[in-house]
Amino acid sequence: MEKRKTPVRGGLFFNNNSYSVCADTKADVTLIDMQTATIRAYPKIKAWFQTHSVWIVLTLTLTYALIFIVFAIWKYINFHYDALDLAIYNQVFWNTAHGKLFGLTIHPHSYLGDHIELTLLLFAPFYTIFQHPITLLIIQTLWIASAAIPLFWIAQKILNKLWALLFTAAYLANAFIHNINTFEFHMLPLALPLLFILYWAYEKKNFRIYLLAIILLIFTREDIALVTFFFGFLPLLEKKQKRWWLMPMILSALWFPIALKITTLASGYEQYKFAYYYGWLGTTPQAIIQTFFTEPTKVLSYVFQVGNTFFLITILLAFALLPLFKMKYLIPTIPILAQFLLLGKGSGSIILETHYLTLIIPWFFISIIHVVKEWQMQPKPSQMWPIKRWVLQKLRSEPSIAIPIIITIFIYTFFTMSPLPSAAQTFVREIRNPNPKKAIQDDLLKNIRPTDVVVSSYNTLTHLSSRNTVYSLHYLWTGKKQLSDEPYWINTPVDTLYYDSENFLEYYFHWKKNAGFENFFDQGDNRMRAFLSEQKLVPSTVIDDIIVFRRAENAQADEISVKNNKRSVEPQNIYTLYQNIPKMKKTVDRKLSDEITLLGWNRLNQAHRLPYKTISRSLIWRVEKTPENTPFLRLQVRNPKKQILYQKFYALGYGVLPPTEWKQGDIIATNYWFVIPENFIQSGNIVTINLENFESGTFTLDGLRSANITEMKTKPTGPAVPIARF
């Protein structure tokens, strides 16, 4: 009896191991020939991938590592690591390498007061070889990349080598993994390979590696103990031997309270430092439990606020909702999701763009692996939910539609949420229009001695963190310790204060526009002036929006590169108060706002004679009345057609003496050495200034996962005045 041929969409028929075609018209023959050739070649292609799977995984992993190491180095040398964490870790590693275990001065306590991350000591010997922030960035990238290998092992055991290769590629191309890698440095991403190893050892029934993974995980950070504890429910549900679920639960339950006690004592706070985020629930465990039962509406309003809803929908859609079809493997994520959803101000995009998803992503991949396994096994429909049954049936019956949809989702997520597209755009833009600020900062940092006690702005804190004592200027500005109402002050004698007044704009959006934190901004300049006076710090070098303050006796020691030569820099004033109107090179006498009149300007001495084009101006103002809002100075370069080629905002008085401190009738000169990028210095171009008020803006992470002001909208308060023409 002749075997029946089973038709396949597109005119192809399978008959055991042979193929035949059925063409409706002659026009179909070429297409069918191509389809037939592809199908016949598939076993060979599959065999090649399976034979070379190990080399493919290693190649993908090393390619990923190379890309992100280069990206990290580029980001570092261009001063884009400005969110504090890399600076903190680098100082901790530097002090540890020099015998001060977990030593830290950026926060006024040992690093153990932030987190209990004992695995940090395992990496200290590697850091000792090359004591630099780049070392940490390379270590982090290699660890994140290495997680692809145990993921491959898991997928290979549960599925096959071909699927394992697909999951490896999906992991390395995942936008959230890229964000974890790009946003600063943390010890937490060490959990990525360890979590995969934990589950691989569980699947392989290798209890020794399983136990070692648990120990390394809970020592990586204190809250990982919550994940390993909840992981214990998985072998319990799968009815494994007691040791498989008892060991993670017992070790986690023992270590977690011990770790919290250690970090609380080390911080000097009355409770676990990061419990501050959950203060709305209560200040004690009893009060928190009581809130859940007595105020359920309040709890639900926090859990389901807009930011949290956005976070949940985004991360689930990014994985095509597939993890929901094997929710058993999401049990370890419960405590981490609870942390995010109970945050007082919601989670939103910050969690998606930083390292916080580290403890969630592995379980999403593991869950999807089991979804694929179930899809292949075709279990009885009665064993599934109706929605799950419908989705899996569609995946089986319409793979040519379902699979492209899933692939499209992954590609869309990459281009919308990965930092790589933004990095490529920024790289091209900076090649076309080089920012002179990088070269300026490189020059200024060379003059700060390794032994100096330094206070620094955000973007140079990382570069100055390889030293015994360094402080972050923003804590001095707020006058408060991190996550605390306790006062903050620096009593140690300071040699250098590096102040990028661009931070004043960031402070404005971070605190002035953030309800409840206005005092951080309003009183910050008073604290700044008091500190400068107490420490006897004076401006040593002023370039564009950067001021380097040094002790009065050392203020003439700075040197700036002038091509290949060096010359000393005289101390400079950043503002001057006059009793009467001084003589002026150019008289303007125009009101740039209702409160402030620009009387005119004088040229300043080019004391620093930099290899950059500077426009030095002493802008002389008369205060008609003290401004209620903080106006900012906008400088623009326009071409003869009045098109804006370049613009930049500056803080009036550099934020050290902002306009809100000016008194009615005051005559004030603010001194600037504006740096203009060379490609905008062309004959006929004109430089103008005007005052603007900020109407809106957000201090958040940009495409490079650096802290920056986005969505900024301003409103002019008066006319623009020319101050130079090329």
- pLDDT value of position 448: 95
* Architecture in CATH for domain 575-725: Distorted Sandwich (2.70)
Q: Structure pTM?
A: 0.90
Say yes or no to pLDDT of 23 above 60. no
Say yes or no to pLDDT of 42 above 70. no
Task: Examine domains 440-568 and 575-725 and report if their fold is the same.
Answer: no
- pLDDT value of position 608: 54
Say yes or no to pLDDT of 24 above 60. no
pLDDT 10s digits, 397-429: 676 777 788 888 889 999 999 999 999 999 888
Confidence of residue 720 (pLDDT cuts 50, 70, 90): very high
Say yes or no to pLDDT of 132 above 70. yes
- Give alpha helix (H) positions in 205-348: 207-220, 224-231, 233-237, 242-267, 285-294, 296-303, 306-318, 334-341
Say yes or no to pLDDT of 672 above 60. yes
- pLDDT value of position 554: 67
The larger pLDDT score, comparing residue 557 to residue 606, is at 606
- pLDDT value of position 562: 37
Look at the domain 440-568 and name its fold.
Rossmann fold (3.40.50)
Per the CB < 8 A criterion, the answer to whether 244 and 210 are in contact is yes
Percent of the chain with pLDDT over 70: 88
> Closest Cα partner for 232 from 212, 261, 210?
210
Most distant CA pair in the chain, distance: 114
Say yes or no to pLDDT of 137 above 70. yes
Say yes or no to pLDDT of 83 above 80. yes
CA–CA separation, 423 and 307 (whole Å): 26
- pLDDT value of position 625: 96
> According to the per-residue pLDDT averaged within each range, which of 9-18, 277-286, 405-414, 701-710 is highest?
701-710
Concatenating the DSSP letter of every residue in 196-239 gives: HHHHHHHHHT-HHHHHHHHHHHHHH-TTHHHHHHHHTHHHHHTT
pLDDT 10s digits, 460-477: 999 999 999 999 999 999
Say yes or no to pLDDT of 5 above 70. no
- pLDDT value of position 38: 58
The pLDDT of 553-581, averaged and rounded, is 61
Angle CA 428–433–434, to nearest 5: 95
The pLDDT of 561-577, averaged and rounded, is 56
Per the CB < 8 A criterion, the answer to whether 579 and 666 are in contact is no
Say yes or no to pLDDT of 1 above 60. no
Q: Beginning with the edge strand found earlier in the chain, give each strand of the sheet holding 537-543 in spatial order.
A: 470-472, 454-456, 496-500, 546-551, 537-543
pLDDT 10s digits, 491-537: 999 999 999 999 999 999 999 888 788 889 999 999 999 999 999 99
The larger pLDDT score, comparing residue 243 to residue 348, is at 243
List the domain boundaries for the chain: 6-50, 52-268+304-422, 440-568, 575-725
Return mean pLDDT, the chain.
88
Confidence of residue 622 (pLDDT cuts 50, 70, 90): very high
pLDDT 10s digits, 372-383: 998 877 666 556
Full 3-state SS string of 144-186: HHHCHHHHHHHHHHHCCHHHHHHHHHHHHCCHHHHHHHHCCCC
The pLDDT of 426-451, averaged and rounded, is 90
> For the chain, how many residues are written?
726
Asked which of 105-114, 298-307, 470-479 is least confident by mean pLDDT, the reply is 298-307
Strand pairing partners for 596? Answer: 623
- Token pair of 590 as six digits: 């125009």
- Residue 592, classed as helix, strand or coil, is coil
CA–CA separation, 462 and 529 (whole Å): 24
Say yes or no to pLDDT of 262 above 60. yes
- pLDDT value of position 10: 39
- pLDDT value of position 3: 43
Angle CA 674–676–682, to nearest 5: 135
Asked which of 305-319, 324-338, 385-399, 647-661 is least confident by mean pLDDT, the reply is 385-399
Q: Residues with Cβ < 8 Å from 218, sequence gap 6 or more?
A: 224, 225, 228, 251, 252, 255, 256, 259
pLDDT 10s digits, 687-717: 999 999 999 888 899 999 999 998 889 999 9
Asked which of 29-33, 285-289, 437-441 is least confident by mean pLDDT, the reply is 29-33
> Closest Cα partner for 507 from 596, 630, 672, 659?
630
Say yes or no to pLDDT of 37 above 80. no
Confidence of residue 431 (pLDDT cuts 50, 70, 90): confident
The pLDDT of 85-91, averaged and rounded, is 98
Angle CA 342–343–345, to nearest 5: 130
Percent of the chain with pLDDT over 90: 70
Say yes or no to pLDDT of 259 above 50. yes
pLDDT 10s digits, 473-503: 999 999 999 999 899 999 999 999 999 999 9
Confidence of residue 337 (pLDDT cuts 50, 70, 90): very high
- Token pair of 665 as six digits: 């009738």
The pLDDT of 163-187, averaged and rounded, is 97
Confidence of residue 584 (pLDDT cuts 50, 70, 90): very high
- pLDDT value of position 377: 78
Confidence of residue 236 (pLDDT cuts 50, 70, 90): very high
The pLDDT of 146-168, averaged and rounded, is 96
